[in-house]
Every structure is written in C-alpha cells, then in structure tokens.
Amino acid sequence: MKSNKAKFRAKFLFGLIAILYPLLVFCALVVFNLPIRYMSIGIIVFAVIYSVVNSRHYKGKNAAALFISPAILCVIGGVSLFVDSPVILKLYPALADLAYVTIFTTSFFFPPPFAFYFIEIFDRTMKDKIPKHQFERYCFKATLVWCCFFVVDGIIAVCTVIWGSDIIWAIYNSGITYVAMGLIFLGEFIVIKMIEKQHRQTQKSPEETHVDS
C-alpha cells in the first residue's frame, strides 16, 4: 500500500514539474541566471527519470501520449547543450502542442478518437449510458475541439518565443494555456452530462406515456 502511494506521489510530482516547465525555466533564466548548459543537463536527467517512472506504471495503449513530453524534453536538452540560446529551451510548449495535435489527429484514423480516453478519466461507464452513435459523434467533435486548441495554442506559444518577453512567455505557457485547457475540460464534461441527461429523459418519456394511458 505504501509502495503504491509512493509511486503515485512520484508520478504526480514529475507530472507537476512537467506542467510548470515554463515557470521553472523562467526562474532559472531570469531569477537565478543559471547557465543554459547546466539547465540542459538537468532537463535531460529529469526527462529520463520521468520516462522511467511512467514506464513502470503504464498499462494502456497510448504510450506516445505519456512519453511525448519527456521525449521532447530530451531533444530540447540535447540541442541546447550545443546551442547556447534560451530560445531552444522556450520551444517546449510549442513542440508539445505540435506533438499532441499530431496524436489527436491520428486518432481519427485509428479510433477511438482521443477524447474517449478523457471521458474514461471522468466516468468509465459513460459509453454505456448513452447510445453508441451519440457517444462516437461526441468523441469525434470533442477531439476536433482539442485539435483546434493545440493548433491555436501552438501558434501563440511560438509568438511568445519570438516577440514576447520572458515573463510574457512564462505567464502564457504556464498559466493562461492551462486555464484554457481547464475550461475545455469543463465544457466537455458539461456537454457529455447534458447528452446523458437528455438520453435518460427520452427513455423515461415512453414509459410515462404508457403509465398515463
């Protein structure tokens, strides 16, 4: 039991660090003025450990989705070892968006669409609560929304690297982008619950009509 808790805490910690990457890079570059080479080595070490932690607990099919972040971090860390420029370090959010939009788009050709796995996080029984055709249509539309988000977010992320200051880059990529993702998650959760409620009502209506008659 203690072992499982320790594993969960480790996964949570590494995931949190990956999410806060822009903020940590900002602090390292601007606040502490750390040499880029040292930061690069730290990023590579973190990415390798993060991959090991994920590999020990991963039991699903979409390995790319879990290991894409550490893979990108390894590439960024490796390149920045030879290119002494903070721009390389700041490309991570945009590259992550590119990778995820590729994965989500690919899921249209190798179903189910990726939004299905998000629904599984909230409610594993949802696919049995509403008609199959409605559920599949919802997954398709929800995945399309995420694809559009990653494209727009990636473009803005690149703009913050090219034209934005370090603080603007950090605020957008470690704050605003996650607020937007949270709103999308909330919106999709509300929509799927509305579909479920509507389906329950349509099922009850014939029964009520039969009783009244």
pLDDT in tens, 109-168: 888 888 888 777 777 777 677 777 888 888 899 999 999 999 999 999 999 999 989 999
Q: Beta-carbon neighbour count of residue 165 at 10 Å?
A: 10
Averaged pLDDT, 35-56: 82
Q: Out of 9-23, 38-52, 71-85, 93-107, pick the least confident.
A: 9-23
pLDDT in tens, 106-115: 888 888 888 8
pLDDT in tens, 70-90: 888 888 888 988 888 888 889
The residues, any chain, with a CB within 8 Å of residue 82's CB and separated by 6 or more, are none
| Predicted TM-score (pTM) of this structure | 0.81
Which backbone phi and psi does 34 adopt, to 5 degrees? -70, 145
